[in-house]
Structure 1
Amino acid sequence: MTQIVADDLNFAAMTDSLFSASFLLTSLFAAALCLSLVLRYWLSSRQIRHVAQHREAVPAAFADSISLAAHQKAADYTLAKARLGLFEMALGAAVLLGWTLLGGLSALNQALIPFTAHGMGQQLALLVAFVVISGAIDLPLSWYQTFVLEQRFGFNKMTFRLWLADLLKSSLIGALIGLPIAALILWMMATTGKLWWLWAWLFWMGFNLLLLVIYPTLIAPLFNKFAPLEDETLKARVTALMQRCGFSARGLFVMDGSKRSAHANAYFTGFGAAKRVVFYDTLLAKLSAPEVDAVLAHELGHFKHKHIIKRIISMFALSLAGFALLGYLTQQVWFYTGLGVQPNLASGNDALALLLFMLVMPVFSFFIAPFFAQLSRKHEFEADAYAVRQTSAQDLSSALLKLYEDNAATLTPDPLYVRFYYSHPGASERLARMQGVASAAR
């Protein structure tokens, strides 16, 4: 009798402990979600007010370069995106609550069990069903952004047929690549012991490095055409600049970005010997040769300061911490019950753990996003300074102003909004820094 009473007391204590841990996680998650929503709404409201208040006049520093019509278009475009962002924020929060505390993910898992065998088949089915449902929820917003918002401001160049083809191709590639990766990670979780998260992390990092190599030559050409740069004068300038900077690439390419958007850009892609320079055709149509030089020198500055390597190392470290945390949480019943999910008793819960982790972590990581944004802006300042020393502050300034104008990027963002979200500095601050670097170099 005494043993029975002791066992009952132990069971009651375990039950109370589980309930307390679950309640604590529920409370933390709900508080973090509410706080993030309030903060995001406040920041967006500040941005909307600040841009609207400065809509009627071009800032004095840009009065000779940007027309009032272009300034007002940028303001209107920024306001339209911000208001759509508020709707997306509300919808995203509702969907997140639906999946978690309101029991959507648990219900989906239970609904699939009668139609799938226990084990890997059931878990992969859960991942696929989740991705399909989430994609269907996001689809109307994607359509609206492309064919209403971007169309209204003259940026969209896509036809519905091309948009649909992109959707089908990206879905097919995602399935062909994602399903084997998901199956392998689930297999590691089930068979490699308590340190599965370390093996999964090593595999994930290896895959990401491989993707840096194969993406430019195997995946990107499925969506765009990449033709060698044919302008011999520009090619000679770019090659001379790269040699002066001690940089080599496998080729200089022009991408047909104009078939989808009027936005302009240039970038490096690939890794190691597979690096290549890619110019949007829209960029070459809008910038002079010296301005193209300056934009390219900015990108070279990222390599000279090893920003790419630093970001890869940061990604390695953060993902390692994430996998380690996931490795711990998968073993905790309160992780599931505290987020509205009833764990499986007859089969594994690895897919449930992966989905819950991906759903919940952005809520908490939101609060450290400003630190990464600040680091990114610091890198942009360093790349600008390098470009100014290699080319000309005037050419880089005029190129950036053209890009700001053509991309309808506002010249008057809210300063606090910039500090929290922007990965690139605001126009005023950025151009002032460049002029300071140029003055110091004289």
Structure 2
Amino acid sequence: MPITDDLSPSLLLTLAFAAALSLGLVIKLWLASRQIRHVARHRDAVPAPFAERIPLAAHQKAADYTVTKARLGLLEMSLGAAVLLGWTLLGGLDALNQALLGLLGGGMGQQLALLVAFAAIGGLIDLPLSLYQTFVVEERFGFNKMTWRLWLGDAVKGLLVGAVIGLPIAAMILWLMGAAGPLWWLWAWCFWMGFNLLLMVVYPTFIAPLFNKFQPLEDESLKARVTALMQRCGFSAKGLFVMDGSRRSAHANAYFTGFGAAKRVVFYDTLLRQLAPGEVEAVLAHELGHFKHRHIIQRIVTMFALSLAGFALLGWLSTQVWFYTGLGVRPNISLDPAMAAAPNDALALLLFLLVVPVFTFFISPLFSQQSRRHEFQADAYAVAQSSGADLSSALLKLYEDNASTLTPDPVYVKFYYSHPPATERLARMQPTAQP
């Protein structure tokens, strides 16, 4: 690892990181405050296009739910920025690394211990707000169905699955960083992409059933309707399943999971209770629209490209002393020529994962805009393949049942929303479907 007496790159990184973190936090707080004020101002009147379909009480519930979550988000953002600052410039990650070096010495064991300890501490910090979100906010608005026993079971299973899968993955990447030479990042990227593709295949069959029950769709009439739709659209799936989402939440959803021949169509049981058969068909047609327009492939290709760029950048940064010192960490460098320095690979990986989101936050609206464009395309496909009126009705039911506000702040939407607001989506369906 090259060592230089020139501290300017380190200082520049420190200043750039501090500036990006501060500016990002200011923007996030400003956007959240806009959302709170805008939704609260429109709480007392249902927007005209929905006045005959959405009761005032439901509109007010959605407004209150949105505002409550946004206010909690203000606290989460502030805490997140403080924790990030604590890990980096205030020396938290450096102190943890030095403590584990003193306890375990250098080597793979210490590096894995650093990753595990970091994840455990971060999880404990996030735990109170997560529990408050589930057992206070979601409970207050009638969405939480989770019991403490179920929550604890999910937590234990999540930790076990994370350990069984995550530790070998982390060990492999760390080994490649130390043993595969200057192009380790390319080999690590290939391994990471292969793992993600494999996960798309095995997740529906082996991992998801650990947390939810999946039963074959038993409604023969709905099954025939859905099967006919998929045949019209040239789509095949391994099966149609109903998931017991109501065990944890009253929120409704439907999704495709898996990859290639392992694709499955999954309906939340709450969705089937809330929607008529024609509306279920329209929702499924929307999801099929994403496949028809190759949105899933586009997203996978984008993920491949961005992750390749990320691994390449990490490959370079991990060799720069200023990358560590500029973020409050002392790299493991032995001053004794006869002694090998402890590896910095886990440090580099953690610092990269901590810092990159601070800078990429500013381009996130571009990805949100692309996602909203995909949703419009999927809506148009659904209207062409099923009933536009059914899709309109289904969307309104889902907005109402999920307490999604009909009056979000326009600037907040452009920055964060992956799905267009209801007013824009339904307006695009005209004249085929009227809100």
Query: Which category of TM-score, normalised to the shorter sequence, fits these structures?
Result: over 0.9
Q: Tell me if 1:353 matches 2:341.
A: no
Shifted more, 378-387 versus 339-348: the winner is 339-348
Paired residue type of 2:219: D
CA distance in 2, matches of 1:116, 1:377: 49
Is the contact between residue 389 and residue 432 of structure 2 (CA under 8 Å) also seen in structure 1? no
Q: Using the TM superposition, give the Cα deviation of residue 67 of structure 1 relative to its aligned residue in structure 2, in angstroms.
A: 0.2
Specify the SS of the correspondent of 1:267.
strand
CA distance in 1, matches of 2:431, 2:169: 49
Q: Tell me if 1:422 matches 2:417.
A: yes
Q: Using the TM superposition, give the Cα deviation of residue 436 of structure 1 relative to its aligned residue in structure 2, in angstroms.
A: 4.9
What is the aligned residue count?
425
Is the contact between residue 426 and residue 433 of structure 2 (CA under 8 Å) also seen in structure 1? no
2:203 is matched with which residue: 184, 205, 215? Answer: 215
Q: Summarize the alignment of residues 26-175 of structure 1 with structure 2, pairs less than 5 Å apart.
A: 26-175=14-163
Residue 194 of structure 1: aligned partner: 182
Residue 294 of structure 1: aligned partner: 282
CA distance in 2, matches of 1:32, 1:230: 53
CA distance in 2, matches of 1:230, 1:309: 31
CA distance in 1, matches of 2:418, 2:382: 18
CA distance in 1, matches of 2:238, 2:52: 40
Q: Tell me if 1:203 matches 2:191.
A: yes
Paired residue type of 1:191: A
Residue 240 of structure 1: aligned partner: 228
Specify the SS of the correspondent of 1:253.
strand
Task: Check 1:244–1:361 CA distance in 2 against 1; reply closer, same or farther (3 A cut).
Answer: same
Once the two structures are superposed, what CA deviation does each residue of 1:153-195 show, in whole Å capped at 9, x if it has no partner?
0000000010011011011100110000111100000011000
2:219 is matched with which residue: 217, 228, 231? Answer: 231
Residue 254 of structure 1: aligned partner: 242
Is the contact between residue 39 and residue 408 of structure 2 (CA under 8 Å) also seen in structure 1? yes
State the superposition RMSD in angstroms: 1.0
Higher helix share: 1
Paired residue type of 1:417: Y
Paired residue type of 2:363: I
Is the contact between residue 186 and residue 350 of structure 1 (CA under 8 Å) also seen in structure 2? yes
CA distance in 1, matches of 2:424, 2:67: 21
Q: Summarize the alignment of residues 377-388 of structure 1 with structure 2, pairs less than 5 Å apart.
A: 377-388=372-383
CA distance in 2, matches of 1:253, 1:116: 48
Residue 375 of structure 1: aligned partner: 370
Paired residue type of 2:318: T
Paired residue type of 1:48: I
Moved over 2 A (4+): 436-439
Q: Using the TM superposition, give the Cα deviation of residue 117 of structure 1 relative to its aligned residue in structure 2, in angstroms.
A: 3.2
CA distance in 2, matches of 1:158, 1:432: 36
Once the two structures are superposed, what CA deviation does each residue of 1:280-308 show, in whole Å capped at 9, x if it has no partner?
00000000000000000000000000000
CA distance in 1, matches of 2:105, 2:96: 15
2:388 is matched with which residue: 384, 393, 398? Answer: 393
Q: Using the TM superposition, give the Cα deviation of residue 114 of structure 1 relative to its aligned residue in structure 2, in angstroms.
A: 2.0
Paired residue type of 2:227: T
Specify the SS of the correspondent of 1:227.
strand
Shifted more, 341-350 versus 74-83: the winner is 341-350
Paired residue type of 1:337: T
CA distance in 1, matches of 2:113, 2:28: 34
Paired residue type of 2:413: V
Once the two structures are superposed, what CA deviation does each residue of 1:329-371 show, in whole Å capped at 9, x if it has no partner?
0000000000000111220100000000000111001001000
Is the contact between residue 52 and residue 75 of structure 1 (CA under 8 Å) also seen in structure 2? yes
Q: Using the TM superposition, give the Cα deviation of residue 437 of structure 1 relative to its aligned residue in structure 2, in angstroms.
A: 6.3
CA distance in 2, matches of 1:228, 1:437: 33
Is the contact between residue 389 and residue 438 of structure 1 (CA under 8 Å) also seen in structure 2? no
Once the two structures are superposed, what CA deviation does each residue of 1:92-129 show, in whole Å capped at 9, x if it has no partner?
00000000000000000001112213111111111111
Q: Tell me if 1:178 matches 2:173.
A: no
Residue 325 of structure 2: aligned partner: 337
Percent identical pairs in the alignment equals 77
Task: Check 1:313–1:437 CA distance in 2 against 1; reply closer, same or farther (3 A cut).
Answer: farther
CA distance in 2, matches of 1:218, 1:435: 43
**TM-score scaled to structure 1, two decimals?**
0.95
**TM-score scaled to structure 2, two decimals?**
0.97
